[in-house]
Amino acid sequence: MRLPVHLFRTLLPLILAAIALSGSTRVATADDLPPEIDLAPGPTNIVLIVADDLGYGDLGCYGAPDVDSPVLDGLARSGIRFTQFYSNGPECSPTRTALMTGRYQQRVGGLECAIGTHNVGRYDDAIRLANEHQLGLPPTENRLVRRLKDAGYTCGLFGKWHLGYEPHMWPLQQGFDRAFGCLGGNVDYFRHTENDGWNTLFDGDRLVEEDGYMTDLITDAALEWYQSVKNRPFFLYVPYTAPHSPIQVPGEDTGKLTPLDEWNRGPRHKYAAMVEHMDRGIGRILEALQEDNLERNTLVIFMSDNGADANGRNAPWTGNKGGLFEGGIRVPCIVRWPGRLPEGQVVNHPAITMDFTVSMLRAAEGQADETGEFDGIDILQQIEEDRPVGERTLFWRARRGDRTWKAVRSGSLKRIWKLEGDRQQQWMFDLEADPREQQNLLDERPEDARRLAELHAEWEQEVRAGR
């Protein structure tokens, strides 16, 4: 039996007192506890690291032939590596919404597409909310940070926010104790402005100007905060901007903003260098945990928010960021939790971003969630207890302008729709037999196609936004 940390701490004085009253003249200690009681060292710290637009095949441990990522490769060897991990959306804001809420982002409204520069809504619902100054994540929806705070955690964010430009939606308003980074979805790595020169670098509740390469600023700020809170339970959220465009590497500052027509393009070797620099920054964070003997008491999660654009490598999957083929949503994910999760294990069953919200809350609260308010599952508990996950049904919908992508995966079958104006395209694949989505089974298996369409239609009704 493993007692939750909070229950163990409540019972420990009573257990030791009972031992002392047993007649022994020796002073009772924790060593006298029965062997079935697990002496947990205290609340689990949580480090959540999110890369931006990192493709499935952009790390050495995921087959990248041209990226040297020793830190993340080492993390995979000491933890678990997912091969069927999905982002909740094919773009930034949707996935981050699901991460903060533990629910499908469609429930919030207006966040099925990345928020545009200068707080621009990119489809009808998002445009309406932007006009009402409500585009972004309402703080009341941020279940992750709110419940971590209730559990006694101090919470820090260092990096990309992209869940609202409005002041009432900034990270401090969401419950974070400390926050530093950029508000929007893209940032020049040297000038820290968006692609039109608009500054969105923030520190706390104000816009600031700093010198330095963005990846380093994020790592430095995260480590500075960590040193001030490491003696109490903490949640360290590090959403790097790398390797999102513009493709810029340290030491190559041109002294001017990258022209807009060059913003999203760059040579592959520079993209790889950006990933490698992020890997080194992550290494500094992990080294700090090791030096302070906190490594064994810290849950570390690394993931990408969606697939890569044309600069990255989504191999072996088809598709890119923005779409719902595997390359747009199947991403790298590595987790280490010493003493709780196996070392060096490869997890081959499906999981999704919002699953980790539930897993992190169990790690913090010491017990499984019973509220029933989450769409994600506690994926780490199932792996920890070596229980089969079973067949899952996962849903996606992404909107931008008059284009809508939809997808549902049930078991190994996946159906995709792409609607743009008056044009509609549809596909269905068996991912077990055809993981690269090359053989469209839509006409061959009409009953399965109909069943998946009905599942998706029911889900769309169930997750309709309340605002």
Residues with active-site annotation: 92, 162
Decide if 326 contacts 317 (C-beta within 8 A).
Answer: yes
- The residue with tokens 């697990």 is 38
Measured distance CA(218)–CA(197) in Å, rounded: 20
Is residue 300 classed exposed, middle or buried when 0-12, 13-18 and 19+ CB atoms within 10 A define those classes? buried
Helix, strand, or coil here: 179? Answer: strand
The token pair at 246 is 């513009």
Please list the alpha-helical segments (H only) found in 312-396: 326-329, 355-365, 379-384
β partners of residue 400 = 403
Listed in sequence order, the residues at least 6 apart from 341 whose beta carbon sits closer than 8 Å to its beta carbon are 79, 80, 335, 380, 383, 384
Decide if 242 contacts 215 (C-beta within 8 A).
Answer: yes
Listed in sequence order, the residues at least 6 apart from 307 whose beta carbon sits closer than 8 Å to its beta carbon are 53, 55, 56, 87, 90, 314, 317, 319, 320, 321, 327, 328, 329, 330, 331
Decide if 190 contacts 248 (C-beta within 8 A).
Answer: yes
Query: Residue 2, Cα to own-chain centre: how many angstroms?
Result: 28
Decide if 326 contacts 319 (C-beta within 8 A).
Answer: yes
Which one, of 39, 79, 47, lies nearest residue 61 by Cα?
79
Decide if 17 contacts 32 (C-beta within 8 A).
Answer: no
